[in-house]
Amino acid sequence: MELVELESQFVDIGGSFLSSAYDMRDKLKQIKAFLFDWDGVFNSGSKLGNEGSPFSEVDSAGLRMLRYGQYRSTGEIPLLGVITGAKNPSAAGLLESHGGDVLYQKAIHKSKALEHFCKEFQLKPSQVCYVYDDVLDLDVAAQVGLRFCVGRLANPIFLGLVSGSGLADYISACQGNEHAVREICELNLALMGQYEQVTQEVMHRSGHYAEYNKEVKQRPLKKFEYRDKEILLVED
């Protein structure tokens, strides 16, 4: 698919490109990690008591394809993580099922979590893609290489600030509870030019997917929490 056609397809559903698809494709080539906020990104932001907030299998499947697509594009398995200001067992469950690399919980200063992450995994902020939805994420969005903001009808002024300040490359058409993560994953896969091949290999467990999946499942998940102004490793 031509990139002009790709832009039109996502604009038609309500997405907003703040960077061109050509620029985003170039930035994506440098990405070695995908980090996500949780509340309002994988869900509406509503809480379920001590269980935290949920995620959908639709978004989970998108993540699986996104990560494999980047692996096919670069030859390296990208890091996968979540930075959340709360404690979310569902986030841990999602990452564990995907062979995720890192979970930051109670991260009230998310830029500090980003700094810790880059030091822990020896990356530059420009090598990170971040998906977010709200004010406390903006310090991270200002630093990373590729930014996706989840759209939400309730905060047009905030989205205008994001757009006017150049703090996102794309604002999603879908809200968090409408599978915004899947939308963003599909867009990235199309930018990679990997969508059809990834779909076929994941569906049939063919190509390099079986080997990739085996390696991913062996990756340990590191869990950190922000306590007394320090980021500490939490043992299960």
Q: How much is the pLDDT for 154? A: 97
Rounded-to-integer distance, Cα 160 and Cα 173, Å: 14
**Residue 99 pLDDT > 90:** yes
Tokens 């993560």 locate to 181
- 167 located within any domain: yes
> What is the number of alpha carbons within 13 Å of residue 71 lying toward its C-beta?
23
Q: What is the pLDDT of residues 43-77, one digit of tens each?
A: 999 887 666 789 999 999 999 999 999 999 999 99
Q: Is the pLDDT of residue 216 over 90?
A: yes
Helix, strand or coil, per DSSP, at residue 31? coil
172 in a structural domain: yes
Phi, psi of 229 (to 5 degrees): 65, 15
Confidence band (pLDDT; 50, 70, 90) for 222?
Answer: very high
Does residue 231 belong to any structural domain of this protein?
Answer: no
Q: Mean pLDDT across the chain, nearest whole number? A: 95
| pLDDT tens profile 115-126 | 999 999 999 999
Can you give the pLDDT at residue 207? 87
pLDDT of residue 28: 98
Question: Using alpha carbons only, what angle is made at residue 59 by residues 21 and 102, rounded to the nearest 5 degrees?
Answer: 90
Instruction: Report yes or no on 34 lying in a domain.
Output: yes
Residue 187 has a pLDDT of 98
pLDDT value for 155: 97
Please tell me the predicted confidence (pLDDT) of residue 52.
Answer: 75
pLDDT at residue number 1: 75
CATH of the domain at 161: 3.40.50.1000
Q: What gap in Å lies between CA 227 and CA 127, rounded to an integer?
A: 27
What pLDDT, in 10s, does the model give residues 20-39? 999 999 999 999 999 999 99
Alpha-carbon distance 24 to 18, whole Å?
A: 10
Q: Residue 224 and residue 232: Cα distance in Å, rounded?
A: 5
Q: Containing domain of residue 115, as a range?
A: 3-224
Query: Which residues neighbour 125 within 8 Å (Cβ) at sequence distance 6 or greater?
Result: 114, 118, 143, 144, 145
Q: Is residue 233 part of a domain?
A: no
Do the domain assignments include residue 236? Answer: no
Query: Is residue 97 over pLDDT 80?
Result: yes
Total number of domains constituting the chain: 1
User: Considering the domain boundaries, does residue 230 fall inside one?
Assistant: no
Q: How confident is the model over 150-203, as pLDDT tens digits? A: 999 999 999 999 999 999 999 999 999 999 999 999 999 999 999 999 999 999
Distance between CA atoms of residues 127 and 71, nearest Å: 14
